[in-house]
Structures are given as C-alpha cells and as structure tokens.
Chain A
Amino acid sequence: MNADNVRTGPNRPKWPLAFRPSVGLTSLAGFLFLAIVSWAHILLGEDSGIASLFTAQTWQRITEFLGELAAAGSTNKPAFLNLESWKHGAALAVDTLAMSVLATAMAGVAVLVTFLPAASNVAYGDLAGAGGKTSRVAFHMLRATFVFTRSIPELLWAMLIVFMLSPGILPGAIALAIHNYGILGKLSAEVVENMDTRPAQALRSAGAGKFQMLAYGILPQVLPQLLTYLLYRWEVIIRTTVVVGFVAAGGLGHEFRLRMSWFQYDEITLLLTFYLLLVLLVDLASAGLRRLAR
C-alpha cells in the first residue's frame, strides 16, 4: 500500500497527508526564493562580516572575550566570586521577576476585559446579542488594536514610553504588557471562535440573559485555555524583560547595559547566570501552575 491509496481510499483520514499544493507549495517556494535573495543581498552587500569570520584576528578576539567573561588576567576579584555582587544581582533578579509578573498581570487583565467583543461569534455570529452595528465596529477596532500592539516589539514600546514615564519597573512592564496584550487578545478571541457554542446557546434558549450566557456558557469553557496561554507568555516575557530593561532602566537589563558599557565582562557573566536562573525558575513555575489550571 502506498501513501496515495491511504489518501484516496474510502476511509479518508482526518489528518492531512500532504499539504495542498496550491498555497502550501507556492509559499514554500516563495520562502526559498526570499531566502536566496536575502542571503545574496547580505553576502554581496558591503561588509557582511562573513569574511572576517575566517580571519585569525576575529578568533583571537573571540578567545579574548571568553577570557574576559571568565575574568582571566584580571587583578581584582571577579564578580562571580564576590558575595556582594551576588547579593546585588539577586536584588536585581527579584526586580526583574516583579517586572515580568506585573507585565503578565496587566496584559491578562486587559485581555480578560476585551477578548469577548473581539470574537466574531460573540460580536456578530451565533452568540451575538442585539448589539448590531456597534458590536461589529467594536470587533474591528479591537482586532486592529491587537494587530497594531502586537506588531511593535516590546523594546520599541519601551523606547517610546520612557519619553513619558520615569525609568524603573513600571515603564518596562507597560511596554511588555502592550505587546503581549495584542498577542494574547488575538489568541483568546480565536479560542472563543473555535469553542463549542452549544452550551451557551442552550442557556440562551432556556432564558439566560447575555451576561448569564457569558458567565456560565462561555467563560468556564475558555478560561483554562486563556490561563494556559497567559502562563506560556510569562515564559516568553521573562526572557524579554531583560531586553526591555536596557531602555526602561529596571532590573537585570539596566545593569547589563551599564556593565557592557564599562567593559566589566566578569559582571556580565554573573548577570547572565541570574538571567538563566530566572528563566529556569519561571519555566518551572509556569509548568506547575499550568498543571493546576487543567
């Protein structure tokens, strides 16, 4: 039996055996073409840096840099053997963690308030109330907001926000929250669009009002999934919090930037250690909480 028979036989399986050539293959070919053009553009452009990868000078510099990270040849005691540096780093790590949690919480609350009108079945589909035109307008505006907030990366949001807010944990958390609001909003609205609407419709035909239908027919079904997405995003947010800290001047990221500009690479080693520990901690915490959410 070959794969073709499986696909065209009477018991055609539900899973895709091969993607439909029209869009899938064209897109694959398009991506390959784009890849070739991009690499050609970069490699043929002036000073791509590829040639310098094969010079002894570059490799000497890399070895030097790795030595500096390990504090080789330094007369002072390296940061990662200094108890004070560890304490300082730990305080910054706690700040960073707080920033990531604050960002996740703000994004989560904002999504919770706005995701229902952004789902097409609630706005004008089979779960729609008597909203009519208003809910359709709200739907499109919310979806446009999701696209806009999600298209602009956290770091750029942070660069804009530090023009308005004083540096610290808050501007960074807001920047992270804005970007993740767009991502989570889209995902949550899609969860509602793909959910089983029969329980909610049964409630409505039994006389439930719109609010009751949402509270008992929709939310219990979608909230666990939303929470899972939120916790997954937390894992991404903790990795990005450091980057946002570069400009928002909070936590490990700010310190990283300072030490980089002072060429204190032994401090960088310590900060990267704390960074990795935080990432590991949040991955574990998120996995544990997701188990509770199931």
Chain B
Amino acid sequence: MGPRPAISSFLESRRLLTYILIAIAAWSALSVDWNGNLVHPGGAESARQIFTAALTPELSSDFLALALSASWTTVTFAVAGLTLAIAVGLPLGVLGSGVLLRPGSRRFFTITGVRVVLGCLRSIHELVWAWLFVVAIGLSPIAGIFALAIPYAGILGRIYSEILVDVPEEPLNALRTSGASEFKVFLYGRLPMAMPDMLSYTFYRLECGIRSAAILSFVGITGLGYQIQLSLNDLLYNEVWTLLLFLVGLVALVDLWSSLVRKSVTP
C-alpha cells in the first residue's frame, strides 16, 4: 500500500465528477411530477395519427412548390443573418484575439472588454431577440435577420478569436524577422493560416443558421417553420412531415457542403 498521490487524486476527481453528475441528474428527474397526467387524455391517439401520417406525407405538386419556396425563404434568412453576423463577428474576433496589439494594459482591457461584449451577444437565444425586435420595430424580415445575427456574431467572434490565437508562431516569426510590421504579419501570415478553420466553422454555423431561421416563424416570420406551424394548427400531419423532410434535406445538404469544405481545408 504505497502512497500514490498523483494517481489517486486523479481517480478522486473522476469519481467526484461521476457523483456530482449522477446527483444533479437525479435531482432533475425528481423535479418532474411523474404521478401526474404525463400523457394527454387524447395523447395516444394524436401520437398514432402523427406517426401514421409519416408514412403518407403530402406530395401533391402544389404543396411541394409551397414547401420549396418556404425552404428558399428560410435559406435567404439564414444566409442574410449569417453575413451580418460575420460582418460584426470578424472585427470583434480580431480585436478580441489581441493579435494586433502589443502586450500591455491596453491590450488586456481590449481583450477583456471584447470578450464581455461577445459573451453578452451570445447569451440570449435568437428567438428571444426576435420576439423583442418584433415588439420594438414590428414584424418584418429585418427583425428576424437582426435577431439571428446577434447571437451568431457573438459565437463567431469568440471562435474566430480562438482560431487566430492558435495559429503557430514560427512562420509568423519568419515574417517578423524579414521586417514585416505586425499588421502585415496579420494580413499575410496569421489570417491566411487561420482562414481554413474559420471558413469551416462558418459553414458549420450556416447549418445551424438554417435551423434557427426555421424557428423564427414562431414570432410570425415566414419560411419553413411558419408553414409547419400552420399545418400543425390545422392538424394536417401529412403536410407537417413533408415540410420536416424538406428541412432535414436542407440541413443535410448544407452539412454535406460544410463537410466537403472541412475535408478540403484540413491537410
């Protein structure tokens, strides 16, 4: 029984983690009222209807045209919101990475300040923003785009700054010794080297953006989600499934595109 401080403390931390996770999961399960009416009175019947409707999605050409145009609307919202998010997130990401500033108190305060701003931008969900915007400036596409762009700018800014910091220093030092200014090092060294990862993450965000744009319908913005909600209200589950399949197809398509980009940029 020799002393094994390093190993045992390692095991202790894992064991502690296990206990903590089990305890909070158990607490969350206990806060559900399991004895209440968990299932609707008509819940089983609607479940049956919903699942049988999956076998016969609505495939009339009129409806497919509607689903296609709704998909296009969703794509335009996602892309427009994402471009706005890049326009805000890229400069914030560069500032927040601190790569353009010399070490010192000014750099410290810039990095901290930008990180707080990015944290605030991404802490509130896009749909909450959408609702606030609809109340403040009225129901319009631009309200949805702003709502989408705010949290996405926060996330992109954070990830961009992390990628920019993680660039290997050796090639940059080579540029520095040949007399390049810090700004030129950034422009010709850091940015091109960070570009593949930034591009691949942005494409991943496009996939998320499609889903986010689809749910903005909840506050009345048109697109796939809006049609899904209309069909759900009329209990037309066949139409719901068609629209869901369009959404799945759209996300799978963007996923395929972004995985192609990822593969091409990783050596």
Contacts and interface: CB of A to CB of B under 8 A. Distances in A.
B101 to A, nearest CB: 23
A27 B257 contact: yes
Interface string A210-228: 0000000000000000010
Contact of A239 (B27, B124, B266): B124
Contacts of B136: 61-62, 65-66
Contacts of A148: 248
A276 interface: yes
**In the complex, which of the residues A163, A243, A275, A293 has the most CB atoms of chain B within 10 Å of its own CB atom?**
A163
A19 B203 CA distance: 14
Contact of A155 (B38, B215, B244, B260): B215
A198 interface: no
Interface string B212-231: 10110010000001001100
A118 interface: no
A42 B80 contact: yes
B181 interface: no
A19 B264 contact: yes
A279 B125 CA distance: 10
B16 A292 contact: yes
**Secondary structure call for the B interface:** helix
A49 B143 contact: yes
Contacts of A165: 38-40, 43
A102 B250 CA distance: 29
B16 to A, nearest CB: 6
Contacts of B244: 152, 156
A126 B169 CA distance: 37
B165 interface: no
A100 B189 CA distance: 42
Contacts of A61: 136-138
Contact of A153 (B28, B145, B196, B212): B212
B153 interface: no
Given A19-B265, A38-B79, A147-B255, A1 B128 contact: no
Contacts of B40: 163-166
Contacts, number: 236
Contacts of A242: 125, 128
B43 A23 contact: no
B61 interface: no
Contacts of A28: 199
B248 A98 contact: no
The number of chain A residues touching the other chain, given as a range, is 35 or more
B52 interface: no
Interface residues of B, number: 89
A48 B142 contact: yes
B32 A170 contact: yes
A47 B39 contact: no
A294 to B, nearest CB: 8
Interface string A62-74: 1001100000000
Interface in A146-187: 147-148, 150-153, 155-156, 159-160, 163-166, 168-170, 173
A153 to B, nearest CB: 4
Interface in A87-104: 94-95, 97-99, 101-102
B264 A17 contact: no
A179 to B, nearest CB: 9
A16 B248 CA distance: 32
B171 interface: yes
Interface string A52-65: 11000010011001
A34 interface: yes
Given A35-B80, A289-B20, A169 B31 contact: yes
Contact of A260 (B135, B168, B215, B225): B135
15 contacts: A1-B175, A1-B178, A13-B168, A27-B199, A35-B82, A38-B79, A52-B140, A53-B137, A95-B31, A102-B29, A102-B31, A105-B21, A151-B211, A152-B211, A165-B43
Interface pairs A-B: 4 shortest CB-CB = A49-B140, A23-B264, A101-B28, A151-B251
Interface of A: 1, 3, 6, 13-20, 22-24, 27-28, 31, 34-35, 37-39, 41-42, 45, 47-50, 52-53, 58, 61-62, 65-66, 94-95, 97-99, 101-102, 105, 147-148, 150-153, 155-156, 159-160, 163-166, 168-170, 173, 227, 239-240, 242-243, 246-247, 256, 260, 265, 272, 275-276, 279-280, 289, 292-293
Interface of B: 13-14, 16-17, 20-21, 24-25, 27-29, 31-33, 36-40, 43-44, 46-47, 50, 75-77, 79-80, 82-83, 123-125, 127-128, 131-132, 135-138, 140-143, 145, 167-168, 170-171, 174-175, 178, 188-189, 192-193, 195-196, 199, 202-203, 206, 211-212, 214-215, 218, 225, 228-229, 232, 240, 244, 247-248, 250-252, 255, 257, 260-261, 263-267
